[in-house]
Amino acid sequence: MLKEFKEFVMRGNVLDLAVAVVIGAAFGKIIASLVDDIIMPPIGLALGNVDFANLFVNLSGKDYPSVAAAKAAGAATLNYGIFFNTIFSFLIIAFVIFLLIRSYSKSKSLRLHPRPRIAPIVFPPFPPRRHAARIALPS
């Protein structure tokens, strides 16, 4: 059974999938940092110094200055700011995946259907000019 498992794991598709999962997890962390640290602060500044990570609705009835303080106290909260950040991260990841798949599909279609080569048109050389005919026009 161990030998069969080793054969299964060493197949190309499983290894490719494992590499894709690891790269995807790292890419997700990069996008989360991009959204939380680069994109959302200027948007929050433009909307009047709003910190999206601290936008929440407190369901416990007590006042808390931040989501972290509410979580530390064990209060029930609806963290819609964090949810907005997650949606924004998803949209960025979805757009990047769309671009990757689109470019892969274009390159694949170019490989499957190469443009036919058209032979260049070669004109024979013009014969040398003899003498131009002179025609007298009536005045």
Which contacts of 87-93 are long-range, i.e. CB under 8 A and separated by 24 or more positions? Answer: 88/35, 88/39, 88/40, 89/28, 89/31, 89/32, 89/34, 89/35, 92/31, 92/34, 92/35, 93/27, 93/28, 93/31
> Do the Cβ atoms of 62 and 46 come closer than 8 Å?
no
More confident residue, 68 or 112: 68
Q: How far is CA 123 from CA 16, 128, 129, in A?
A: 54, 15, 17
Q: What is the pLDDT of residues 43-58, one digit of tens each?
A: 888 888 877 888 888 8
Global pTM reads: 0.57
> Do the Cβ atoms of 38 and 20 come closer than 8 Å?
no
Q: What is the pLDDT of residues 11-40, one digit of tens each?
A: 767 777 888 889 888 888 888 888 888 888
